[in-house]
Amino acid sequence: MTKRVIFIEHDNASPGGPIWAQFERRGFEIVRFMVVGAENAENPNVEPVWPDFFKFDAVVVMGAQYAAYDDARIGNWLLPLIEKMRAVHNAGIPVFGICFGGQLMSRVLGGTVSRSPRAELGWVDIKSKDESFVSNGPWFQFHWDRFTLPPGATEIASNELCPQAFVYGRTLGVQFHPEVDPEVLDTWLAIESACADLESEGVEVENLRAQTRKIQSESNKRGYELVDQFLDRVATAPIVLI
C-alpha cells in the first residue's frame, strides 16, 4: 500500500523542493494542505477545515510568514494546530518540523519560541553533534525567531544563536530550510515583502539567488539525506509521549 505524507503549508508560498522529491523517491504520495490561502494573506486568522492527520504515515510542518507565538494574530488556527500536533506526536506518527514548523513542534513539546536578537538570512553553517544525521551545511536560513530545546529532547545541531535541530521520539525539528532550491527561493522572492525584509537586513537578493544556484547540487543532496535520516532513524524510533 502506498504511504502518504501530508505537508502542512501555512501560506501559499511553501513548495517542498528537494524534500518533496526525496519523499516521492521513498515511495510516498504527497498531500498538501494549505492553512492560509492567498485570498486571506492580509487577514490570516482563519479557521480551517482540518484534514484527518491520523490517516497519514508522516506529517511535515512547513515554514511560515508568521510567528509561532503570535496567538493574537493567528490563534484561530495556531492553537488548534498545536493541539493536533501533540496528538499526532503521541500517536507515534512521525513529524518533521521545518523553521516555523520546528518552532511549533518545540512549543508542542514544552519548549518556547521568541523573537531572536538578530535575523539569520541566507546560507549558514551550523555545528552538528552528529554529521551522519544533520550535516554542518550550509543550510538556508530565513527567520527572526528562535526556539528553545524542549525538555527531554536531544539536540542534534546548533549555532551561537539557537538550537538548529532536535529529536524527541518520532519528531524532528529544524530551524533551517532544507527544502530551498532556486525554484523555492524564487517563489519566496516573488512576495514583495520578502525582498524588502532581506534588503532591510543588508542581504543582496541577486547575490543570494546566484549563491543558491551555485550550490544547488550540494544543498539538494543534503536535503535528500535529511529526509532519509528522518525516515530511517526518527520515524522508526520508540514513541515518546508528552
Mean pLDDT, range 174-202, rounded to an integer: 95
At 192 the pLDDT is 80
State how far the alpha carbon of 21 is from the alpha carbons of 14, 30, 119, 184, 191, in Å.
Answer: 14, 10, 29, 13, 24
> What would the pLDDT profile of 143-182 be if each residue is shown by its tens digit?
999 999 999 999 999 999 999 999 999 999 999 999 999 9
Residue 239's φ and ψ, nearest 5 degrees, are -70, 130
Say whether 99 is catalytic: yes
89/110 Cα distance (integer angstroms): 13
Cell, residue 30: 504527497
9/32 Cα distance (integer angstroms): 7
At 84 the pLDDT is 98
Say whether 201 is catalytic: no
> How many other β-carbons are positioned within 10 Å of the β-carbon of residue 101?
29
> What would the pLDDT profile of 54-82 be if each residue is shown by its tens digit?
999 999 999 999 999 999 999 999 999 99
Give the β-pairing of 163-168 and 154-158: antiparallel
> What would the pLDDT profile of 17-35 be if each residue is shown by its tens digit?
999 999 999 999 999 999 9
pLDDT band of residue 1 (cuts 50, 70, 90) is confident
User: Catalytic residue among 99, 120, 143, 162, which?
Assistant: 99
State how far the alpha carbon of 20 is from the alpha carbons of 16, 40, 153, 192, 209, in Å.
Answer: 5, 25, 26, 25, 21
Its CATH architecture, for the domain 3-181+219-234, is: 3-Layer(aba) Sandwich (3.40)
User: Catalytic residue among 89, 120, 162, 179, which?
Assistant: 179
133/174 Cα distance (integer angstroms): 12
3-state DSSP of the chain = CCEEEEEEECCCCCCCHHHHHHHHHCCEEEEEEECCCHHHCCCCCCCCCCCCHHHCCEEEECCCCCCCCCHHHHHHHHHHHHHHHHHHHHCCCCEEEECHHHHHHHHHCCCCEEEEEEEEEEEECCEECCCCCCCCCCEEEEEEEEECCCCCCEEEEECCCCEEEEEECCEEEECCECCCCHHHHHHHHCCHHHHHHHHHCCCCHHHHHHHHHHCHHHHHHHHHHHHHHHHHHHCCCCCCCC
At 24 the pLDDT is 98
At 20 the pLDDT is 98
Q: Which residue has the higher pLDDT, 192 or 79?
A: 79
Give the β-pairing of 171-174 and 3-9: unpaired
> How many other β-carbons are positioned within 10 Å of the β-carbon of residue 138?
17
Mean of per-residue pLDDT scores for the chain? 97
Indicate the length of the chain as a whole number: 242
